[in-house]
Amino acid sequence: MQVTQNTLSRSTHLNRLDPQSLGANTIMATAEHPAVPTLRPGVAPLRAAEGTSFLWRKLHSLLGIIPIGAFLLEHLLSNFEALKGPAAYGAQVKFLNGLPMVRLLEWVFIFLPLAYHGLYGVWIWLRGKSNIVYYPWAGNWLYVSQRYTGLIALVYIGQHVVRQRFMGVALPEHPYASFAKVQHELANPWILAFYIVAMIAICWHFSYGIWLFAAKWGITPGNKARKRFGYVCVALGLGLVVMGLASIWAFVGPNFRNAPEDATPSVSQSSGPAAFQLRAKS
């Protein structure tokens, strides 16, 4: 009995000791809730698919198809008229410049959308990161190619608009000088090479842009639908490249070499390339 009482008294004495006196360090875990972050007045929290960044990206994607994509198709079809000769090409330029409110249409549906799509695309590129070095998957290669082809397209379109629209002969007032103006520009082999590379880049950028647009806007849900639509976009891109390169060939090929500065129908109306060349020399 005495032993038991001594044991109990010793245990009670140990329980009253401070744990730190025994060399123990204690860490207490609390269940306090962290402080709730406060937002400045008037600043709403962003969620997925919300906010201005989402809207700007959607606008960037939409403008790439309408109106920029529509303008690209129209431009390739108009340039395809060059295969018929300087007079046909000049007539197409005259028709386009004769549309009602054409200058307003130029700025609203061509120049401003192109500027926004191009500059915002560069901003997205500078902020984005690809893993092509460490993860050389198809998605990363497509990401990088879309960015570089977009940059090439931006440089090409910018210099092309400045040269053809605002420098040299004013084509709106002299549409039948358009063939010779383009032909003189492409006489430089460096510019010709740049035009060929830019044409391929633009057609690739537009075709893959259509595929991205359909995927982002929910038009092609599922991997199977996207894969099938990918074949359609590849075929479209190849077709546009053929059209673009054929139009370039019309300016540098032998059929309409040394086109007159003024290819009005009364001067250059012909039944074929041979007749055109005879009239151009006379």
CATH number for the domain including 255? 1.20.1300.10
* pLDDT value of position 48: 40
Evaluate whether residue 89 is within a structural domain: yes
Evaluate whether residue 270 is within a structural domain: no
Evaluate whether residue 268 is within a structural domain: no
List C-alpha distances in Å: 1 to 8, 11, 14. 11, 16, 20
* pLDDT value of position 51: 52
CA–CA gap between residue 264 and residue 93 (Å, rounded): 12
Evaluate whether residue 38 is within a structural domain: no
Evaluate whether residue 33 is within a structural domain: no
Evaluate whether residue 120 is within a structural domain: yes
* pLDDT value of position 46: 36
**Count of C-beta atoms within a 10 Å radius of residue 126:** 8
pTM of this structure: 0.72
Evaluate whether residue 40 is within a structural domain: no
Which residue from 172, 181, 169, 195 is spatially nearest to 247, judged by alpha carbons? 195
Q: What residue numbers bound the domain in which 84 lies?
A: 56-263+275-281
- DSSP H or E segment with residue 234: helix 223-252
For the chain, 282 residues long, the average pLDDT of each consecutive 10-residue run is: 47 48 48 50 42 80 91 92 93 91 90 92 78 62 88 92 87 90 93 96 95 90 91 96 95 90 66 44 42
Domains: count for the chain: 1
Evaluate whether residue 2 is within a structural domain: no
* pLDDT value of position 263: 81
Half-sphere exposure of 136 toward its Cβ, with a 13 Å CA cutoff? 1
* pLDDT value of position 273: 47
